[in-house]
Amino acid sequence: MHVSIVPCAQYDQAQAEQALLQALAPFGGLDWVKTGMTVAIKANLVTFLKPEAAATTHPVLLCALVRLLKERGARVIVGDSPGGIYTKVYLDRVYAATGVKAVEDFGGELNRNFEIKEATYPEAKEAKTFTYTAWLDEADEIINFCKLKTHGMMAMSGAAKNMFGAIPGTAKPEYHYRFPDPARFSDMIVDLDQYFAPRLSITDGVIGMEGNGPTAGTPRKIGVILASDSPHASDMIGAALIGLTADQVPTLQAAIRRGLIPEDRDEIPTSGDWRPYVIPDFQKVETAKNLRFQRDSETFFGKLTAQFLDAALAARPELKADECVGCKECYRICPASAIEMVENKPVIDRKACIRCFCCQEFCPKGALKVRRPPLARILIPEKKN
């Protein structure tokens, strides 16, 4: 377990290649790549947003990595399964919008295999069976190339969460419905990380996303690339850069519970110092702050109190009506069918809502925001950095 931290000030091809080589040096560089090997780069291509939106892995970094791998004689496939229909037509729109088609100019391939498979993983804690995108089976090794940004449900989106993109887009809401609690959802994510076991995890932190992430936030310069042989170790350092502690990130909590990373980030060996890149005023999502109260309390009063506190204090998606265009994307994607359209605006049934924040994540206009109720703001104010 090791994390490499390397400065990268801008998306320049030469600078990107140099930064990647430096970041990968502690892991033997790319000496493990052999001629004829197939390497899959699992990017974050969450939706059809332009690179400057800072929601997706930047194409300049992907092109730089593709060129370095091709130089070693590898076949390189770049892909993801965004939150939509897993078809050629839909993916072509995403590839074009995100600028990722540029990898073809460097000898890379875009995934065109839209077969899905069923996996059985008895060792898993939650995902003992799951559906996944078969293109990853073509690879001898997987490189997980994520984007550093905020996330409505998980507080941050980084290396661990990026492997959720192995689940086909239209199946993702089902997994939110199966695992509505952040702790169980995080264990499912960690199961996927363990199953696919990416050789390396690289984080695009040159320009991250703050605020209403992971798709409707604001770009924020961080100026760094992270590389690690552990997605969880990488996320531990990535969280520190944007002002989050491990107890604020459910996937990090899950990894710690399973002994995959230490509780103290200072126990993670690093190359380079991450502290100069910390952004004290990075705008985070107003999460529930782990307020999943003890619903299994022994007494009736205890259960009732827990349910009240959970309802009164937990974060939830809220609509900013003047930004909504009535596209119905939230209505279509909601795994709990908790949204109705009334006068062309979404209305959320709070009793049915499972607070997965799929509506907030995939709203193309960012009209749905993560909000904490007033009582939560009073009792548990946001910590100032």
DSSP string, 201-257: EEEEEEEEEESSTTTSSEEEEEEEEEEES-HHHHHHHHHHHTT--GGG-HHHHHHHH
For residue 309, pLDDT over 70 is answered with no
CA-to-CA distance for 286 and 299, rounded, in angstroms?
A: 31
> How far is 126 from 191, CA to CA, in rounded Å?
7
CA gap 131, 249 in Å, rounded: 25
Report the share of the chain in percent with pLDDT over 90. Answer: 74
| Average pLDDT of the residues of the chain | 90
Q: How many CB atoms lie within 10 A of CB 87?
A: 12
90 to each of 48, 97, 186, 330, 385, how far by Cα in Å? 9, 11, 27, 18, 41
Give tens-digit pLDDT for 164-210: 999 998 888 888 888 888 899 999 999 999 999 999 999 999 999 99
Q: Is the pLDDT confidence value at 293 over 90?
A: no
Q: What is the CA radius of gyration of the chain?
A: 20
What pLDDT shows up at residue 385? 45
Q: Which residue has the tokens 């998306």?
A: 11
Strand partners of residue 275: none
| Per-residue pLDDT, 292 | 43
| pLDDT given for residue 86 in this prediction | 93
The superfamily CATH assigns to domain 3-277 is LarA, N-terminal domain (3.40.50.11440)
Between these two residues, 23 and 353, which has the higher pLDDT value? 23
Place of tokens 């932190």: 205
Nearest to 72 by CA among 23, 37, 42, 26: 37
Percent of the chain with pLDDT over 70: 89
Does 87 or 289 have the greater pLDDT score?
Answer: 87
- Highest CATH level, class, for 300-379: alpha beta
Q: Which residue has the higher pLDDT, 370 or 382?
A: 370
Distances (CA, A) of 76 to 69, 80, 94, 111: 7, 14, 19, 10
Considering only CA atoms, which of 357, 287, 364 is closest in space to residue 323? Answer: 364
| Nearest alpha carbon to residue 5 among 282, 206, 270 | 270
- Cα 354 from Cα 69, distance rounded (Å): 42
Taking the C-alpha atoms of residue 10 and residue 181, their distance in angstroms, rounded to an integer, is 38
Q: How many Å apart are CA 250 and CA 209, to the nearest integer?
A: 19
User: Rounded CA gap, 7 and 102, in Å?
Assistant: 24
10 Å CB burial of residue 381 (0-12, 13-18, 19+) is: exposed
SS3 state of residue 136: helix
Mean pLDDT of 340-353: 90
Instruction: Provide the pLDDT for residue 153.
Output: 86
What residue type is assigned to position 25 of the chain?
Answer: A
Encode pLDDT of 28-39 as tens digits. Answer: 999 999 999 999
pLDDT tens digits, residue range 260-281?
Answer: 999 999 999 999 999 999 999 9
52-72: pLDDT as tens digits: 999 999 999 999 999 999 999
- 296 vs 379: CA distance, rounded Å: 23
Residue 344 burial class via C-beta count within 10 angstroms: exposed 0-12, middle 13-18, buried 19 and up: exposed
**Domain ranges within the chain, ordered by starting residue:** 3-277, 300-379
